[in-house]
Structure 1
Amino acid sequence: MKRLMVFLLTLFLLYIMYYDISTGTIAFSPPAKDNEPAAAVQTSPSPYTVKEIKQGETVLTIVEQLHSGLPVSIEQVRKDFEKLNPNEKADAIQVGKAYKFPLYEKEVAS
């Protein structure tokens, strides 16, 4: 009796594997083709200013000086700086070198 149960279980598992491979259990539908080309997103260049680095300055201190405080999050300043200066890291700026620093518009209170 034990052998019969093992045999039936094996047949059942083989059938399940065959069904899964041949038919599958998840319906496959190819991605819908979009006939319309995606509209090109035109972003206006971010406003920036160029400033030469002096001893003791960091990206954050310069942005704070330009805006009388930090207008956005530190992570946003870092991302914007690295976007304006593609081959530079925000934490590896060099004294005497000029970099582009992002300018932020002040939000108008409603």
Structure 2
Amino acid sequence: MKKAIRAFVLCLAIYIIYHDVTTGTLIVSTKATAAPEHTTDGKINVHIPYQTVTVQPGDTLLSIMEELQNGPIPVPIDKAIADFEALNPGKKAQTLQIGKKYKIPIYKR
């Protein structure tokens, strides 16, 4: 009887590992986001609500966004970074500079 239970547990463990590797257990958002519109003069027209913030020493994009939201942000980090870079053309989220002003996206809960 013990051998049968061990064999069952082993098979179950193998199945769980196989399912996790092939399908995964994390929920992935499959919503498509609209590309920014280009105006006739070549500028990008972005429709994301934002607030202009001056970066202080020790600030990161995530810390600023969480402070503006009064808690965790309600969107995935990669979407937040993409929105930040769309609002601030030519700027990267990883290279915020102290004393500079940036447009930080605001999300509804």
Structure 1 counterpart of 2:60: 58
Q: Note if 1:73 corresponds to 2:76.
A: yes
TM-score normalized with structure 1 length: 0.55
Length, aligned pairs only: 66
> Unaligned 5+ residue runs, structure 1?
1-40
Task: Quote how far apart the aligned CAs of 1:88 are.
Answer: 0.2
**1:36-82 deviation per Cα after TM superposition (whole angstroms, max 9, x unaligned):** xxxxx8x8721100000000001111011111212111111100000
Name the % identity.
40
Aligned partner of residue 101 in structure 1, secondary structure: strand
The alpha-carbon distance between structure 1 residues 58 and 87, as it changes in their structure 2 partners (threshold 3 A), is: same
Tell me which amino acid in the other structure corresponds to 1:50. Answer: T
Tell me which amino acid in the other structure corresponds to 1:88. Answer: K
Structure 1 counterpart of 2:91: 88
Q: What is the aligned counterpart of 1:101 among 90, 101, 104?
A: 104
CA distance in 2, matches of 1:77, 1:102: 7
Bigger-Rg structure (1/2):
1
CA distance in 1, matches of 2:106, 2:63: 13
CA distance in 2, matches of 1:105, 1:49: 13
**Root mean square deviation, CA, Å:** 1.9
User: In the alignment, is the contact (CA less than 8 A) between 2:46 and 2:86 conserved in 1?
Assistant: no
Aligned partner of residue 53 in structure 2, secondary structure: strand
TM-score normalized with structure 2 length: 0.56
Q: Counterparts in 2 of 1:5-20, with a 5 A limit? A: none
Task: Quote how far apart the aligned CAs of 1:87 are.
Answer: 1.0
**1:66-108 deviation per Cα after TM superposition (whole angstroms, max 9, x unaligned):** 11212111111100000000110000010000000001011xx
